Amino acid sequence: MAVTTYLTKMQEKKLQSCFGGKRFTLLYKASVHDFSGYNVYKRCNNQGPTVMVIYSGHDIFGAYIKDSYQEYGDRVPIVLFAFQKNEISECKIGAYSPSTFLCLYEEDNCSEFLLNLDGKKVTMKLDTIEKLQLKVQVSNERHQKHQKDQIISVKECEVFRCEDLLDKRNMEEITQLHKSLLFDIKSYRPYRDLVRQIRILLLGPTGAGKSSFFNSVKSVFRGYVTHQALVGSDAAGVSDKYRVYSIKDAGYNNSLPFILCDSMGLGEEDKGPCMDDIVYILKGHISDRYQFNSMKPITPGHSNYIENPLLKDRIHCAVFVFNINSVEHLSYEMMAKIKKIRRELIKCGIIHVVLLTHVDSLDLITKGDFIDIYRCTLVKCKLEMVHRELGFALSDILVVSNYTSEWELEPVKDLLILSALRQMLWAADDFLEDLPPEKTGSCIWWYRHLKVSALWLPPAWIYCSQCFSNSLDNTCCTSSIKDQIEVSIYTKILF
């Protein structure tokens, strides 16, 4: 039968987070491997950093041994800790050898922490007990030479090996997955090539992380942290315009196959964009840089109004963005507005998902958890709450950690961002695939390999086969276009 710890999942998580995001492997359990200091040494030496957890009555405390030890006399730094109600208290006591703190020979009267497993007791100084805020019932037995030492009974002892969650092997796997996701998105082509770029609309309360998500996506593809879109969390918000962002691949300077559309933050009552404006955006009637007016929607004749939008102008996927820390505190008015928008999305046949941001700020979540974030208990609870309160399928709820204050990119963060973006592209494909024939028959694309003069064809009809740009000039990847050139073109025939 497998040997398991007495620590609860929450206690183990707190302890892992306390010492920098570690993965624990149980090496020793006194009730299984005998109450013996020698057995602890034999099973735990040369294992790297270890955590020793001691159970005494209602108290749980122990020692974090920061370095590996091999010989009895090796001195290793030790940090004592104790579980409190909502936190873990710590006390550094310096470096000691295993022969000292495990009492392998005889008790060292000068040590602040002596674990005598053979005698099922721990000897600790009173001031150390006070620093750790232990509430142990101290026995009447006193140390012969030091009246300030106290002896605490031991009911169980466990020792864990501590390993970095993001070790070399994990980082190699992360790097490979990162490259795979980048390739998948860069080489993505919308369903049946009905459009050149997928339009993804970001909706959500002010400060939820809509603009930050765009900045994060751009950062991943540019290779450094960028802040093109202004971000903010004040009541008025920062994004008061409808913005349409196309991102270029840093390697080839060609546009990526998606566009992120940022909108004004949703507000309660009459704050935020008009419902009519949201519907106009969904149907492709509103162009970039439209200034929202909470009291008055756009009207035909406005400079930003598109009279006859094409499929490429429409929204192909909508994303509701929420702060994972405050999503359960949405007001009744906000919930009602979100449900109303969802009804409009359903009428338009647009697939919509949820994006929960700031996952890194959840209590006890570490970067190591990003590798398999959807298995974390805290994240699962948040997903189930959104599913229960807002009605979204669990598979349609995505989680990310945006770049907000970092100066450098982090591969584990990139994985969450890229994975979420790929899900959005798949959702857009579902929308395009579900369109009726009369909505997709307005244009057909033929691929040809021709020797033509660039001057013979209207510019809007020519698309480079490498970067799919319709500006065959010095900004295109084919930079030496002459009068007579051999290029692969897309010819757009309108019916």
Same domain, residue pair 130 and 210: no
Same domain, residue pair 355 and 466: no
Buried b or exposed e, range 154-164, using 16+ CB within 10 angstroms: bebbbbbbbbe
User: Hey, what are 388's tokens?
Assistant: 């229960």
User: Is 51 in contact with 7 (CB distance < 8 Å)?
Assistant: no
User: Hey, what are 145's tokens?
Assistant: 């030479």
Same domain, residue pair 283 and 218: yes
Strand bridging mode 397-399 / 88-96 = unpaired
Specify which residues 285 forms β-bridges with. none
Residue range 9-65, pLDDT digits in tens: 888 888 888 887 788 999 999 999 999 999 998 999 888 899 999 999 889 999 999
Same domain, residue pair 328 and 255: yes
Same domain, residue pair 221 and 269: yes
Q: For the chain, what is the domain count?
A: 3
CA distance 195 to 312: 6
Alpha helices in 349-470 (DSSP H): 377-390, 411-433, 437-440
User: Is 412 in contact with 370 (CB distance < 8 Å)?
Assistant: yes
Q: How confident is the model at residue 335 (pLDDT cuts 50, 70, 90)?
A: very high
Please identify, among 139, 163, 187, the residue that sits at the C-terminal boundary of a domain. 163
User: Is 218 in contact with 228 (CB distance < 8 Å)?
Assistant: yes
CA distance 383 to 364: 17
**Sign, Cα dihedral of 342, 344, 346, 348:** negative
Instruction: Specify if 293 maps to a domain.
Output: yes
Same domain, residue pair 129 and 233: no
Tokens 């802040």, residue located = 227
Same domain, residue pair 451 and 361: no
Same domain, residue pair 99 and 132: yes
Same domain, residue pair 129 and 205: no
Specify which residues 89 forms β-bridges with. 82
Residue range 216-241, pLDDT digits in tens: 999 999 999 998 877 755 544 556 89
- Domain of residue 449 covers 442-494
Residue range 69-125, pLDDT digits in tens: 776 677 888 999 999 877 899 998 888 887 788 887 665 555 688 899 999 999 988
Same domain, residue pair 204 and 331: yes
Q: Give strand ranges (E) for 308-348.
A: 317-323
**Sign, Cα dihedral of 234, 238, 244, 250:** negative
CA distance 42 to 147: 33
Tokens 């009541």, residue located = 235
CA distance 36 to 39: 5
Q: How many helices (H) and strands (E) does the chain have?
A: 12, 18
Same domain, residue pair 175 and 260: yes
Q: How confident is the model at residue 213 (pLDDT cuts 50, 70, 90)?
A: very high
Task: Report angle CA 361, 366, 369 to the nearest 5 degrees.
Answer: 115
Same domain, residue pair 178 and 317: yes
Please identify, among 131, 163, 195, the residue that sits at the C-terminal boundary of a domain. 163
Residue range 156-173, pLDDT digits in tens: 999 999 988 776 667 888
Nearest to 153 by CA among 61, 84, 78: 61
Q: Output the average pLDDT for the chain.
A: 83
Regarding pTM above 0.75, the answer is no
